[in-house]
Structure 1
Amino acid sequence: MILDTLANSKKYHAVHPLFAAAFDYLSKQDLSSLEDGKYAIDGDKLVAAVFTKPAKTAEEANEKFECHDRHIDIQVCISGKESIGWKPREKCTQPKGSYNPEKDVSFYADAPQMYFGMEPGQFVILFPEDVHSPMIGEGALKKMVIKVLI
């Protein structure tokens, strides 16, 4: 997991071959005026989803404590204050159902090891080994999630 501000995003271009294109796309957007919806950045290799939804309690979010096998998430806070639960996959011991290859998601019944916060202008990069429960907070949260194909 990497947590930082968009102002520092160039530091992470070398981490994955598609990160430069993802962060370049982000730098060219007026995030606050983006409509909710899906945006193709580079075919199926880089796809962004923007959404505005009511925040969840930690208990509600932890019902979908999730991770992905074929994608890295770059999650960007656009408005609101969001908390995200996190735990390393290697320490998760309670699978909840089986892996869904169509949605590229696995769920766990484990509790997060920690929570961290994000405010507008911050992002988190979540790798397949990062089990996470996003959208914790109050009021409405607007965010962008870029799915980076591994």
Structure 2
Amino acid sequence: MIYSDLTNWERERHTFPAPVRRAIERLMETDLDALPAGRHSFGEPGMYLLINEPVTSDWQDVKPETHKLHTDIQLLLSGRERMRVAKASEEQIITDDRYETQDIAFYDNVRNEQTIDMVPGDFVVLFPTDIHRPNCSVEEDMPIRKAVVKVHGDLFATGPQNE
């Protein structure tokens, strides 16, 4: 997992994997406020953008999830969000496996979760080994708007395009 914000992006960008850099560069070049909620193409095969407008809720009402094929880059655009994260391991038991049809699996109980309170401009990069519980309320339920870039694992393969 990577946690950062757009203010520090220029200073930290060289430390990020190439597909993450490309995705964040596109986010910064895109008028995200003009895009409606939903799925949008995002400049290269294996990468797409979701604009989500959920209402946060108590963390206990949100199922933890992982993805097998995609890395998520979640950028908060408005509101406040608590993101809970933990590392996937054999101790963490999947209770609803939808990897084959939807590239998502859910957990009932997750150990050693950490919390990150996000404000607009904050982003997290969630790799397939990161269990995450998004859209949790910080203090009270509220509507939020976020950009989620889905980056297929094939884009992380070594090669000249990833240098």
Q: CA 1:73–1:84 in 2, change beyond 3 Å: closer, same or farther?
A: same
1:66 maps onto 2:65 in alignment: yes
The answer as to whether partners of 1:32 and 1:79 remain within 8 angstroms in 2 is no
Q: Note the C-alpha offset of 1:85.
A: 1.3
Of the structure 1 ranges 99-108 and 67-76, higher mean CA displacement relative to structure 2 is found in 99-108
Aligned to 2:128: 128
- Residue aligning to 1:29: 30
Higher mean C-alpha displacement, 13-22 vs 87-96:
13-22
Return 5+ residue gaps in structure 2 as ranges: 154-163
Q: CA deviation at 1:97?
A: 2.7
Structure number with greater Rg is 2
Question: Secondary structure in 2 aligned to 1:90?
Answer: coil
Query: 1:12/1:92 Cα in 2 relative to 1: closer, same or farther (>3 Å)?
Result: farther
Aligned to 1:143: 146
Contact 1:13 1:19 in 2 (8 A): no
Aligned residues: 148
Residues 52 and 147 of structure 2 are in contact (CA less than 8 Å); yes or no, is this contact kept in structure 1? yes
Q: Distance in 2 between matches of 1:13 and 1:70?
A: 24
Deviates more, 1:49-58 or 1:17-26: 17-26
Cα distance in 1 between the residues matched to 2:130 and 2:66: 6
Question: Who is 1:83 aligned against?
Answer: 82
Correspondence for 1:108? 107
Q: Please name the residue that 1:39 is paired with.
A: 40
2:99 aligned counterpart, secondary structure:
coil
Normalized per residue, which structure has more strand?
1
In the TM superposition, residue 68 of structure 1 has moved relative to its aligned partner by 0.8
Q: CA RMSD in A?
A: 1.9
Distance 1:101 1:17, change over 3 A: farther
Unmatched 5+ stretches in structure 1: none
**Partner AA of 2:135 in structure 1:** M
CA distance in 2, matches of 1:80, 1:91: 34
Partner of 2:21: 20
Q: 1:11-32, CA deviations, whole angstroms, 9 ceiling, x for partnerless residues?
A: 2455333223211111112333
| Superposition deviation, residue 114 in structure 1 | 1.8
The percent identity for this pair of structures is: 26
CA distance in 1, matches of 2:58, 2:45: 32
Letter of the aligned partner of 2:151 in structure 1? Answer: V
Alignment TM-score, normalising by the size of structure 2? 0.81
